[in-house]
Amino acid sequence: MSVHEIKTKVLGYPRIGQERQLKKATESYWKGEITLEALKQAGQQIRKDNWLKQKAAGIDFVPSNDFSYYDQMLDMSCLLGNVPARFQWDGKTIDLDTLFFMARGLRPGATAKSTTTACEMTKWFDTNYHYIVPEYSASTNFTLSSTKVFDEFKEAKELGIVTVPVLIGPVTYLLLGKGPTGFDPLSLLDKLLPVYEDILKRLSALGAEWVQIDEPVFALDLTGRQLETIKKTYERLSKTAGVKLIVATYFGELRANLQTFAQLPVAALHIDAVRGTGEVTEVARSIGGQKLLSVGVIDGRNIWKNDFTASLEILNQTKSIIGARLIVSPSCSLIHTPITLDQEPKLDAELKNWMAFAEQKLQELVQLRGLLDGTTGKDVLAANSQAISSRVTSKRIHKEEVAKRVKAVQQKDLNRASAFPQRRAVQINRLHLPLFPTTTIGSFPQTTEVRNLRSQWKKNAIDTKQYEAAMEAEIKRCVEIQHEIGIDMLVHGEFERNDMVEYFGEQLEGFTFTANGWVQSYGSRYVKPPVIFGDVYRPKPMTVRWSAFAQTLTKKPMKGMLTGPVTISQWSFVRDDQPRSQTVKQIALAIRDEVLDLEKAGIAAIQIDEPALREGLPLRKQDWLAYLRWAVDAFRLSCSGVKDETQVHTHMCYAQFNDIIEAIADLDADVISVETSRSNMELLGAFESFRYPNEIGPGVYDIHSPRVPETAEMVDLLTKASRVLPAEHIWVNPDCGLKTRGWPEVKQALKNMVAAAQQMRTRVKVLS
Low-confidence stretches of the chain (pLDDT < 70) are: 1-3, 111-114, 654-656, 677-688, 766-768
Full domain range(s) for residue 129: 61-266
Q: Is residue 437 packed enough to be buried (19+ CB in 10 Å), middle (13-18) or exposed (0-12)?
A: buried
Cβ-proximal residues to 352 (8 Å cutoff; 6+ apart), any chain: 341, 344
Q: Is residue 460 part of a domain?
A: yes
Three-state DSSP class for 59?
coil
Confidence (pLDDT) at 231: 97
Number of domains in the chain: 2
- Listed in sequence order, the residues at least 6 apart from 338 whose beta carbon sits closer than 8 Å to its beta carbon are 14, 303, 357, 358, 514, 516, 517, 518, 519, 528
Residue 719, domain member (yes or no): yes
The answer to the question of residue 36 being in a domain is no
Last residue of a domain, one of 238, 266, 294: 266
Q: Is residue 53 part of a domain?
A: no
User: Is 156 domain-assigned?
Assistant: yes
Q: Which of 130, 270, 492, 704 is catalytic?
A: 704
Distances (CA, A) of 27 to 35, 36, 59, 740: 11, 11, 32, 12
565, 559, 573, 554: which is closest to 483 by C-alpha?
Answer: 554
List, edge to edge, every strand of the sheet that includes 509-512. Answer: 509-512, 531-537, 573-574
Residue type, 280: V
Q: What is the pTM of this model?
A: 0.90
- How far are the Cα atoms of 145, 441, 676, 749 from residue 105, in angstroms, in the given order? 20, 22, 16, 16
Q: Is residue 305 included in any domain, yes or no?
A: no
**704 part of the active site:** yes
Write down which residue in 219, 239, 266 finishes a domain.
266
CA neighbor of 535 nearest in space, from 466, 574, 586: 586
- Is residue 454 in some structural domain? yes
pLDDT confidence of residue 767: 64
CA 684 to mean position of chain CA atoms: 23
| Separation CA 672–CA 371 (nearest Å) | 52
- What are 284's strand-pairing partners? none
How distant, in Å, are the alpha carbons of 135, 725, 747, 760 from that of 713? 21, 18, 17, 12
Q: Amino acid letter at 634?
A: A
Q: What is the CATH number of the domain that holds 173?
A: 3.20.20.210
Residue 369, H or E segment: helix 358-373
Contact in structure between 498 and 530 (CB atoms under 8 Å): no
pLDDT of residue 682: 62
Give the pLDDT confidence score for residue 117 in this predicted structure: 87
Q: Is residue 312 part of a domain?
A: no
Single out the residue in 266, 300, 317 at which a domain terminates. Answer: 266
